Chain A
Amino acid sequence: MTSPARSARLATVGETRDLVQRGERSATEICEAALARIDALDPHLHAFTTIARDRARERARTIDQDPARRSGALAGVPVSIKDNLCTRGLSTTASSRMLEGFVPPYDATVVARLEAAGAVIVGKTNCDEFAMGSSTENSAFGPTRNPWAADRVPGGSSGGSAAAVAAGLTPLSLGSDTGGSIRQPAAHCGVVGLKPTYGRVSRYGLLAYASSLDQVGPLTRTSADAALALSVIAGHDTADATSASDPVPDYEAGLTGDLRGVRIGVPVRLLERGVDDEVTGAMDRAIEVLVARGARRVEIDLPYAASAIPVYYLIATAEASSNLARYDGVRYGFRAAPDSDRDDLRTMYARTRARGFGSEVKRRIMLGTYVLSAGYYDAYYLKAQRVRTLIRRDYDAAFVEADVIVMPTSPTPPFRLGECTSDPLQMYLTDVFTVTANLAGLPALSTPCGFSAAGLPIGLQITGRLFDEAAVLRVGDAHERDTDWWTRQPTDPPGTEERRN
């Protein structure tokens, strides 16, 4: 049996903030506990690329010394930040050799907003290189392990963020989601992950992968925490021309638990094939929980969603090949040493990129360069953008019948480390249920909805209309009120000292 301390549920973002605001714990005490837990567990998990001890302690002390700062919405909450978001004065690598040693001279807008609300950044989390991957195995600094099973991947690309929240290292982590990179690792690690509507959250300071798809969002233990975090990071930013000026609603106030009259759309045909039986069972039981709260199950169809994977990989790689052209060894990051004095600029570019980028990044740059090249642009890129329009129309039609759409976040529980690395296409196929929300710009949330017989987490994905984060958060929160999947936590590896907030 576990000791009482061990079975105590990990503190949420809201609970941690309340302790600080009421003066029951200092920000310093909470920060020290988080750093101690990271020191004990991260050697096993490798969720972090950088641990920012001094910066975190200084931040916590500042909050403790100034009563005005204790009123912040995230006062004293330890947070981790995916390593593709710029943090001023703190190494930002995107888990790539290309940016090893890069120290940004500015903060991403989301980072500045978190800190203004009193959050304490304790470190940067591991990810697939430049957010390209579904397992965090593409990190140049080694993979992150799933806290639920050390031989399994945590998902990706925000795998370090999901593992950090699941293992109780930080109750909140920021990730980025281009084709499922927040939601899929959240599902694989048994936590909540929210990809907001495209434009809801500023992308300023996010190292760009695919600019028409990228979006920043929170990974947390509960939908209520995701609502709290979104309230802090959402809103217009003059530094990001695609950020939306729509007013930011009070997301926490919308968490009423009341689902009466809410129509839950299920894309039955899309789910007919290729979904693991345990995942289907968990999703069906989750829908029953929602129906018991007054929601109504309706069947919908998303006929073009089945083509979303190739559409996504044509568009995302095209945009990546353009975005990653900036890494050329001139202004920041790695530069390959010359072979001789005769090496010219072009040779330096090509050699720097050959040695600085990992295999998956090069593969996507090559594919993206091909689909944008003369003679193929119309047939691949433009064609994919036309089918993208059809996928968006699918959702427009579905949202006449339904208020939210549910499906599994991932068709299977997390796979084993190394299981998919030799076959990139096989890895791409695991994104089948997540890429459509990016292509259509829609908000989508993953919340825990069960475990496989082997004890691996399963996630339910809830997708909403454009800018209707309130609906997906309300449904996710309602599900968490009647289930205890989200309260479960992985056993610490043997030999690690128990230290929790």
Chain B
Amino acid sequence: MLAFAMPVVFTRSEIEALAALANLELDPAETDLFGRQLSEILEYARQVQEIDTTGVPPTESVATRHGVDRPDEVRPSLPRPDALMNAPDGAPDAGLFRVPRVIG
């Protein structure tokens, strides 16, 4: 595949787009550093691309060998006050988490 015939090099705007996908605000120094380090790590990971995996299925689970279905029944869960206890901006009386505005 052409994508792996040459080293992966990131432009600053590509790193910024990736950071936006990851919901991370990066400063310019971090943007440059991560761009360089991601290139190095992916360059090292190229050896994986070179392995022939024709007909080899991807691993989906390693040791789970039992049915995990259970009846769909209502069971006790975390009480609402406990769930709100750690909220940075909780509204326990309303039973809600408060967040900044979502739509301009």
Contact = CB atoms under 8 A, between A and B. Distances in A.
A424 B41 contact: yes
Contacts of B89: 335
Contacts of B3: 376, 379
A199 interface: yes
A466 B24 contact: no
Contacts of A321: 22
Q: Chain A: interface secondary structure?
A: helix
Contacts of A51: none
Nearest to A338: B100
B31 to A, nearest CB: 10
24 contacts: A242-B68, A244-B64, A304-B51, A307-B51, A310-B48, A328-B23, A330-B87, A344-B101, A345-B102, A348-B99, A362-B24, A366-B18, A369-B21, A370-B42, A373-B21, A379-B3, A379-B4, A380-B48, A384-B48, A385-B60, A388-B58, A428-B41, A440-B62, A466-B63
Given A311-B48, A332-B87, A362-B24, A390 B68 contact: no
B25 A351 contact: yes
A441 B41 CA distance: 24
B34 A198 contact: no
Interface residues of B, number: 55
Contacts of B61: 212, 242
B6 interface: no
A184 interface: no
Interface in B41-92: 41-42, 44-45, 47-49, 51, 53, 56-66, 68, 70, 78, 82-83, 85-89
Interface string A192-216: 0000011110000000000010000
A330 B23 CA distance: 14
A359 B88 CA distance: 23
Contacts of A332: 86-88
A11 interface: no
A246 B96 CA distance: 41
A367 B41 contact: yes
A19 to B, nearest CB: 37
Interface in B3-29: 3-4, 15, 18-27
B51 A348 contact: no
A147 B38 CA distance: 34
Contact of A313 (B41, B53, B83): B41
Contact of B62 (A353, A376, A379, A441): A441
B63 A199 contact: yes
Looking at B51, B63, B86, which has the most chain A CB atoms within 10 Å of its CB? B63
A348 B22 contact: no
